[in-house]
Amino acid sequence: MEHPFAQYIQFLGKGKQGSRDLTQGEAEQALTMILSGQAEPVQLGAFLMLMRVKEEAPAEVAGFVKAARASLSLPANLPAVDLDWASYAGKRRQLPWYLLSALLLSSHGAAVLMHGIGGIAGRVCVPQALEALGLKPASSLQEAAQQIAQKRFSFLPLAVLNQEMLRLLNLKELLGLRSPIHTVIRMLNPLAAPTSIMGIFHPGYDEKHQLAALLLQDKQLAVFKGEGGEAERNPDAPCKIRLVQNGQAINEEWPALFSSRHLRDETMDISRLAKLWRGEIDDEYGKAAVTGTAAIALRAMGRAASVAEAEAMAAQLWATRNIAYISIS
């Protein structure tokens, strides 16, 4: 008898005339089978690479995300959060200034859950940056809940959140290519925050995320091509922000904040994150990246009605930040 998962490979791989996209329901069932171990390893490799060549359609992304969210094993009584922040790329040209953006928002009362990975060769990831700020990732969902209650911020590693999703993500090392899992994890939103913010690198995936969010009836979202693929505004370049608010897709063009580009950061000295927060250094790029990214988050959360209002609000938050909020050792 034919393996029950084979049909999903057939839908994708029957050639130019016979292949087709999966429906949202088919995509949901396919990833449900994968996450529950019902697909054979050879089937998994074929499926992921056929999807990679074709590229995910928004309905497929929505189905995959629905299955991934359903697979999460979450304890009861987890805290409510205001903003879900995906971080899966790491930074290699500039420091992860977006971490200060998230902490700036949380220091002013917004509960932020950031989830992602670390240990990417040649890149600075959030766990390293947290250590430089005297903070640490959550080692469990319970610890994440405690951190959110105490500081309104937590970074939850994917390894804690879902080991199987991490295993699938790490298949890139064997396959040599990204897969739909890289798209799905950015939309996990494990604590069902009303607003999500995420960055993309590959062209076109911002629209896929936006349309998938509409299909999933997610409340509010901001997705854009961020610096290094993270949800960080590059102040040197114009930025197209794709929003979802009240069931509507909104596209905005945010202007560059500088007339000329800054040089690549050759040292990547993460101690400068703390120094900028304390006001010990004057880094115009870093400050603009922090406040510019915070402005996008404020716009996504519906706390600002325009680009100008969001930027003014973010600048005010920075000017009134609590230096002692980050306990740098």
pLDDT at 212: 98
Would you say the pTM of this structure is higher than 0.75?
A: yes
Q: Which two tokens stand for residue 220?
A: 């509010």
What kind and span of H or E run contains 27? helix 24-35
pLDDT digits (tens, 9 = 90+) for 181-202: 999 999 999 999 999 999 999 9
Q: Is 160 exposed, middle or buried (0-12, 13-18, 19+ CB in 10 A)?
A: middle
Q: Give residue 139's region: left, alpha or beta (phi > 0; psi -120 to 50).
A: alpha
Q: Are 4 and 33 in contact (CB under 8 A)?
A: yes
274 has a pLDDT exceeding 90: yes
Mean pLDDT to the nearest integer, 125-130: 97
Mean pLDDT to the nearest integer, 47-63: 97
Q: Are 83 and 112 in contact (CB under 8 A)?
A: yes
Of 250, 199, 200, nearest in space to 220 by CA: 250
What backbone phi and psi angles, to 5 degrees, belong to 157?
A: -65, 145
What backbone phi and psi angles, to 5 degrees, belong to 220?
A: -145, 140
pLDDT at 16: 85
pLDDT digits (tens, 9 = 90+) for 295-327: 999 999 999 999 999 999 999 999 999 999 997
Burial per residue of 83-103, b for 16 or more beta-carbon CB atoms within 10 angstroms, e otherwise: bbbbbbbbbeebbbbbbbbbb
Per 3-state DSSP, the chain is made up of helix, strand and coil in percentages (nearest 5) of 50, 15, 40
5 has a pLDDT exceeding 50: yes
Q: Are 100 and 276 in contact (CB under 8 A)?
A: yes
329 has a pLDDT exceeding 50: no
Mean pLDDT to the nearest integer, 53-63: 97
User: Domains of the chain (ranges plus CATH)?
Assistant: 6-71 (1.20.970.10), 83-324 (3.40.1030.10)
pLDDT at 328: 64
Alpha helices in 172-306 (DSSP H): 172-175, 180-184, 205-216, 271-278, 284-300
Per the listing, tokens 């230096």 go with 323
**What value does the mean pLDDT of the chain take?**
96
First vs last C-alpha separation in the chain: 62
